[in-house]
Structure 1
Amino acid sequence: MTRYAIDRAHNTLLAQWSTGLGDTATVVARLTHDQLHHNTRRLAAELTRLSHVCWRSYTHPPSAADRHGPNSLGWHRQQERDAFTTILPTISTTTQVPAKPTTTKVEQTAHAVARTLRILDSSQLTTHITTDVAAELAAIEQAERGDLSERAQQATALSREDASPLQISQADRLLCDSPFGSHEFFIQVDPTAAAIAAAHWYYAAVTITAQRTGIHPVHIVASAEQPDKPLALESLTDITTAMDAGMRARHVVMPLIRNALHVADGHLHGIHEIEQRITAAHELITKAHTDHPDIDLGPDTIYLPLTSLDPARPAPDLLDNLLHGIETCWHLYYHHTSRLSPSNSPTSPQDLRQTFLTTIRQEAGSRTERLL
């Protein structure tokens, strides 16, 4: 989403958004010195809020809802998306209009922007704001079509409840070019679609590494443990286990991301997973009391995560885990093969890396039907 701020040094209103790798900013409007600071700050806050509720229609599309009847979740999401058409007429109106009941967050936030603009009482400022909001809405619509260039590039930092098949295919092609990830991979592809493609390539890496080394896939996954991300191993294990049972990458990744998004909204989607976590926690407490009675571990002291992913950024978090998993497979592949090479004819790291890349491409290419 776009964040708006006041540059006091130059007395300007700025718009800033992520590009996947770093942020970019642009000047929206120059402010006048007679405009009170608290009013311009309020305008910046309301524009940020408007961007947030509008981009939520992208990250939480009506098509991803479980129900679509009257007053259902899908129905309410469609109402929010349909309200996009009211935004520009609302904020461009310089005169007070009779208040009408508004049922969507999009309309409520647009009216809040319009009220502050009327207080600031500058037709030039209103024109600049209207132009910038129009560009923001166009970026959202562009992202919905799968084009993440220019201002729509901010979608590369968001987690979506759905993924475009075109975006998944693009991510698959980029990984084929560079299975460890690339600059283009992070700035051109929606991270949910990228995570689906990365899960496909990660499982291919696990498969060829297990074949090459004789190490069981479970032990390969365990090698991908990250000290600074203790739950990363859990998501990789879930993906490996499910794909080893024949599940498609999309059907494995989407529930993980959606569950984390629900947790971010303050909801638990289903109780089966949390029941398993609670059971595991009780078993851990019992074992700790038996093996280490001196450790003060109880129901009030144990940390129980509701999801294995970062709820604030589940898709980018999962994508990081998967690319780290591919890198881990390469290191296992390399060290195992190096140890087996005759001392008088060692295989160079460059040759081994090329062999690994060739083999992983062959493995991933042979399973394309399990991507979507």
Structure 2
Amino acid sequence: MTRYAIDEQRGALIAAWATGDGDTAGTVAALPPATPADQRYAVARTLTDLSAALWHAYTHPASAAEDDLEDGSEGWRRQAERDAFAGVPEAIVEPNLPENGMIVQSYIVVEEAAHRLGRALHAIGDTELAKSVAAEVHIEIAAVEQAELGDLSGRARQAVVLSRADASPVQVAEADRLLRENPFGPDELFTAVDPTAAAVAAAHWLHAAASVAAEVTGQSVTAAVLEADGITGLPVATLSIVLDLLEDGASPHEAVTELIRDAMAVAEGEVPNPVGLAEAVAEVQQAVQRVAPDDEDALDHLLAEVRTTPLDPARPALDLLEDLLVGIDGCADLFAEYADDGGVDDEPGDDGAADGGDRGDAADDAANAREEARVAAVRDEFMAAVRAWAAANAERLV
């Protein structure tokens, strides 16, 4: 979301938002010099609240509510928030004002946020400031609508740091294109693509990488990831959940959005799967009672491993994307372990060591070059196989 602040030195209202590479800022309007401090900050605060409400409608679309939008349902409520965008300009210009000690308030967050901003501007009573703020809100709404269409240029780029409960097909296609160029994940996945969509594409490419590693090791994809964890520490809990879902027939979109939605629910104070959580706790307690019934430390340690979500609730989409890319890299390491090592027989310093350091250094350099070439060749072989698998199963991303 965009955050608004007061530049006290210049007496200006400014806006700042994330880009994936860092934050950027711009001036919204100059403030009337005589405006009291509390009124200036009320405008900045209510603008920030409105932006948060607008972007919340983006991250929590009705399409991700998994109901039929009937009256009173979660999807119905989310759709009401999105529909309220159309009334924001009018609410800013003609907000609900107190009458006879009472004020009309809306249960729709977007609508009420717009009225509160309108009341803050009304208190100042400056026409030029009101026009500038209205223009700023128009830009912010356009950015959200642009992001919904999968275009993350300009102000809409702030979506790259948000976790969304659904994924734009346009963004998934762009992430897939980037991963086709570099299956290990280029920087653009974090700076130019919605992270949920990037994670959907990355789940597909993880499945490809794990399948290639599984074939060369003669194991299941989940077992291959577990073995890869022994080479390079991996977030096996997350990777195993994703791969199990994919192997059971779920699409990358289904697997990823399910994990992210659960983590978003946890961030909002909910327990998405209370029955599963209770069963996990019971299993841990039973295990401790079997081996160490009086060992409270062991119980505390095991219970600490029980989580409502394997993802960071504060940034679930980005956390999942990072885990998936680490998993792809881990599969490459496992593939290399099983590939023909073509190892270098020369021990550093052996060749020519008796005749002086020059020949020994040259031999070392040659050995290192051969090893680097071998590693590069194995990595290329792995990437070619992963690209072939991903292409052969590309319909799963549609």
Q: TM-score, normalised by structure 1?
A: 0.89
- Could you report, residue by residue, the CA deviation over 1:140-162 in whole angstroms, capped at 9, with x for unpaired residues? 11111111111111111111111
- Could you report, residue by residue, the CA deviation over 1:168-189 in whole angstroms, capped at 9, with x for unpaired residues? 1221111101111113222222
2:39 matched to which residue of 1?
39
- The offset of 1:238, in angstroms, is 0.7
Asked if 1:350 is matched to 2:376, the reply is yes
Q: 1: CA distance between counterparts of 2:170 and 2:74? A: 26
2:315 matched to which residue of 1?
313
2:188 matched to which residue of 1?
184
Relative to structure 2, which stretch is displaced further, 318-327 or 179-188? 179-188
Change (3 A) 1:114 1:210: same
- The offset of 1:317, in angstroms, is 0.9
For the 8 Å contact 2:149–2:170, the answer to whether it is kept is no
Asked if 1:130 is matched to 2:134, the reply is yes
- The offset of 1:332, in angstroms, is 2.3
Relative to structure 2, which stretch is displaced further, 240-249 or 324-333? 240-249
Asked if 1:324 is matched to 2:329, the reply is no
Q: 2: CA distance between counterparts of 1:69 and 1:94? A: 29
Identity, in percent, stands at 38
- Could you report, residue by residue, the CA deviation over 1:176-216 in whole angstroms, capped at 9, with x for unpaired residues? 01111113222222111111110000111111122234465
- The offset of 1:109, in angstroms, is 1.1
- The offset of 1:5, in angstroms, is 1.7
- The offset of 1:287, in angstroms, is 5.2
Q: 2: CA distance between counterparts of 1:155 and 1:369? A: 26
- The offset of 1:365, in angstroms, is 0.8
SS of 1:26 mapped into structure 2:
strand
For the 8 Å contact 1:65–1:74, the answer to whether it is kept is yes
Change (3 A) 1:336 1:209: same
Relative to structure 2, which stretch is displaced further, 213-222 or 93-102? 93-102
Alignment of 1:165-204 (within 5 A): 165-204=169-208
Q: 2: CA distance between counterparts of 1:287 and 1:22? A: 51
2:24 matched to which residue of 1?
24
- Aligned AA (2:292): H
Q: 1: CA distance between counterparts of 2:13 and 2:302? A: 46
Q: 1: CA distance between counterparts of 2:134 and 2:167? A: 30
Long gaps (5+) in structure 2: 347-369
1:247 matched to which residue of 2?
250
For the 8 Å contact 2:19–2:158, the answer to whether it is kept is yes
For the 8 Å contact 1:288–1:297, the answer to whether it is kept is no
2:83 matched to which residue of 1?
82
SS of 1:281 mapped into structure 2:
helix
- Could you report, residue by residue, the CA deviation over 1:234-257 in whole angstroms, capped at 9, with x for unpaired residues? 111111222233332122212111
For the 8 Å contact 2:57–2:82, the answer to whether it is kept is yes
For the 8 Å contact 1:223–1:328, the answer to whether it is kept is no
- The offset of 1:219, in angstroms, is 4.3
- Aligned AA (1:79): A
Q: 2: CA distance between counterparts of 1:42 and 1:301? A: 48
Give RMSD over aligned pairs: 2.7
Asked if 1:359 is matched to 2:385, the reply is yes
Which has the greater radius of gyration?
2
SS of 2:24 mapped into structure 1:
strand
Change (3 A) 1:36 1:336: farther
SS of 1:80 mapped into structure 2:
helix
Change (3 A) 1:66 1:219: closer
Q: 1: CA distance between counterparts of 2:96 and 2:245? A: 58
SS of 1:117 mapped into structure 2:
helix
1:262 matched to which residue of 2?
265
- Aligned AA (1:159): S
- The offset of 1:55, in angstroms, is 1.0
Change (3 A) 1:247 1:104: closer
- Could you report, residue by residue, the CA deviation over 1:60-81 in whole angstroms, capped at 9, with x for unpaired residues? 1112223311121111111111
- Could you report, residue by residue, the CA deviation over 1:74-111 in whole angstroms, capped at 9, with x for unpaired residues? 11111111111121122134995865452311111111
- The offset of 1:281, in angstroms, is 2.9
Q: 2: CA distance between counterparts of 1:4 and 1:225? A: 44
SS of 1:296 mapped into structure 2:
helix
Long gaps (5+) in structure 1: none
2:292 matched to which residue of 1?
289
Q: 2: CA distance between counterparts of 1:288 and 1:45? A: 56
Q: TM-score, normalised by structure 2?
A: 0.83
For the 8 Å contact 2:4–2:44, the answer to whether it is kept is yes
For the 8 Å contact 1:179–1:201, the answer to whether it is kept is yes
Q: 2: CA distance between counterparts of 1:37 and 1:219? A: 62
- Aligned AA (1:367): N
1:70 matched to which residue of 2?
71
- Aligned AA (1:137): I
Aligned residues: 367
